[in-house]
Amino acid sequence: MGGVTLYFLDSYAMIEYLSGNKRFAPFVDRGDWATSVFNLAEVYYASLRDVSEEYAERAFLAFRTGVVEVSDGDVKAGMATRLKLRARDLKLSYADSIGYEMAKRVGAKFLTGDSAFWELPDVEFVK
């Protein structure tokens, strides 16, 4: 019995999807995804900076429905992961570090195109 895979969208995945990268569409369009308020904040900021407030609002509303609550454990585990990977010269944002740990907690694959995640377990890497 094969179940449906849940994907956790990082900021990269959402921005690429919004930019029209068709490689992300199969993951986002099917609706089996989650994200964090921190990743959503990064998308909102990038949209404000690069496009417009109206566009940022539409992006925010489109992805707000999949926001999963961040736990204290997610924050702590995310910062430990960020520190560990920084020692390997991999620079992750706070949002993506926490999101990666949240994905593990909710049983999702972490969807990204960020090369820092290339060889990490439970990552769906798309460019």
Let me know how long the chain is: 127
What are the DSSP E strand ranges found in the chain? 7-9, 33-34, 109-112, 123-125
Q: How confident is the model over 22-46, as pLDDT tens digits? A: 999 999 999 899 999 999 999 999 9
Q: How confident is the model over 111-123, as pLDDT tens digits? A: 999 998 988 999 9
How high is the pLDDT of residue 44?
Answer: 98
* CATH number, domain with residue 89: 3.40.50.1010
Q: How confident is the model over 97-108, as pLDDT tens digits? A: 999 999 999 999
Write the CB contacts of 121 (distance below 8 Å, at least 6 apart in sequence). none
Q: Phi/psi at 8 (nearest 5 deg)?
A: -105, 115
Number of domains in the chain: 1
Prediction pTM value: 0.92
Instruction: Examine residue 39 and state whether it is found in any structural domain, yes or no.
Output: yes
Instruction: Examine residue 124 and state whether it is found in any structural domain, yes or no.
Output: no
Instruction: Supply the range of the domain harboring residue 87.
Output: 7-112
Write the CB contacts of 110 (distance below 8 Å, at least 6 apart in sequence). 7, 8, 10, 99, 100, 103, 117, 120, 122, 123, 124
Instruction: Examine residue 58 and state whether it is found in any structural domain, yes or no.
Output: yes
